[in-house]
Every structure is written in C-alpha cells, then in structure tokens.
Amino acid sequence: MAENHAVLRTEDLRKDFRTGEVIVHALRGVTMTVSRGEFLAISGPSGSGKSTLLGLIGGLDTPSSGRVFIDGVDITHLSESALTRIRNEKIGFVFQSFNLIPTLTALENVALPIQFARQRRFDPRRRAREILTLLGLGDRVNHRPAQLSGGEQQRVAIARALANNPPLLLADEPTGNLDTVSSQVVLEALHNVRESTGTTIIVVTHAPHIAAQADRRIILVDGCIAEDALNGAVAQGLQPTSEQAHP
C-alpha cells in the first residue's frame, strides 16, 4: 500500500475560522501525500493557508473536516495525550523565532527534549553533541544563545527538533528572521539532515528562491492547492475554481 511509504497523508483537509458573523475558509479541501525522505516546500501569498496547513499536519490544531495521517496513523481525532505522544515521537518543529532557552547552552537546549521523552532512546548529551556536529556547530556546543548568530541559533533549533529522531520535520518560515547568507546556511543544514538521516522535511516559506531548493513545492492560493511541482516540472496542477477562490 502507498501509505506504507508515506510519512504524511491528508484527505480533503478543511479549516474554517469564525470572526463574528464572518466565516473565513482558511483551507478548502487539501489532499496531499508526502513520501519518506522527501523535502517539500509549501509556499503561496500571505493568507493562503500555509501556516494553518502546517499546524493541522503537526497536530497543533484540529481540522473542521478531513483527515491527517502521520506514519499511517489517523491523528485527526486522537486524545490530547495521544497527540502529545505523536508530536514527541514523530514530529519535530522549527519556527521563525528560535525559542531557545537563553540560560542554557546549545548542547543543553538540544538535550532537553531527550530528557523529557516518555521513552528515552538516546543519551541526551551524546545525542545533542552528535546532531550539533552534523549541523556544523561542534565547536559551539557550550555557547548560550546570546553568544550565537541568528543562523547558528536556528541551527540549534533544528538540532533540538531532531533530538528524538522524528521521521518528520516541520519548519514554519525558518529563514524569516535571517539575512541571505544565514538563510542559505540553514537551508544547506536542512539538506544535510535529510541526506544523513532520511528525515522528511516540510518547509513553509513565502520566498520563491527557497521553495525552488526543495525537491518539490506546493503552492497554496486561497486555501487550495494551485500547483504541485517537482524541481521545475509540474507534477500535478490543480487550479482553484472561481467558487473555491471566492466564497
């Protein structure tokens, strides 16, 4: 079955928000499959539903309808405790703001998720040093966030997200606070992670040049998949209908 090879699958995913009397249709039936080891970029204009989609994939929010499967498990109606376990074991999160603990060193920040894991599979400090070295920070393990550049802090955040070896890494605008040079270093780090560990990576970005460096890109427009492309070759284009684009 194809599901055995998919880290992520969504079926007709929809999300509505109510503001007073107004209902905003943030997602309008998103169906997609992401294979193991794939590097996918999700892009589109502001308000197109990118971050909403990432939140639903990561179990941070629940859809109005539709389903999300992570490693073949339907997470849509799981209890909060079961969702927490899925997030801890299956998903790593990286955000635009680094969210590092300022009083801890890089190594201590990365070791923290391992120490709190329900079933500890790694020696925290050894694993943290290993991932930081993989990301080119082997000589910065004892530095606190204030002693690191923005690009270095984001790589520490990536290392922390990978601490428990999740099969899926979700990154929401991970280069949004970085300059061009630092952004490229972070992207190269993500590619190195994928090549070294086989981790599936999904990056939400508004920047076309960043999306172009992924294996595949999905463009959202008004909550619909407008294009699904593989490195310059359109895999399957789905243009939203006028009814979808204008509720």
Say how far apart CA 148 and CA 42 lie, in whole Å: 28
- Is CATH 3.40.50.300 the right assignment for the domain spanning 36-64+75-217? yes
Say how far apart CA 223 and CA 208 lie, in whole Å: 18
Bridge pairing between strands 168-172 and 91-94: parallel
Give the pLDDT of residue 234. Answer: 42
Give the pLDDT of residue 3. Answer: 44
The whole-model pTM stands at: 0.88
Give the pLDDT of residue 232. Answer: 56
Q: What angle do CA 109, 112, 117 make, to 5 degrees?
A: 155
Q: In whole numbers, what is the pLDDT of the chain averaged over residues?
A: 89
Domain boundaries, the chain: 36-64+75-217
Per-residue model confidence as pLDDT tens digits over 145-172: 999 999 999 999 999 999 999 999 999 9
Say how far apart CA 101 and CA 103 lie, in whole Å: 6
Say how far apart CA 194 and CA 38 lie, in whole Å: 8
Spatial CB neighbours of 53, under 8 Å, sequence gap ≥ 6: 13, 27, 30, 42, 204, 220
Which amino acid, one-letter code, is at 15?
K
Residue 16 has pLDDT above 80, yes or no: yes
Which amino acid, one-letter code, is at 100?
L
Per-residue model confidence as pLDDT tens digits over 68-112: 999 999 999 999 999 988 998 899 999 988 999 999 999 999 999
**φ, ψ of residue 3 in degrees (nearest 5):** -60, -30
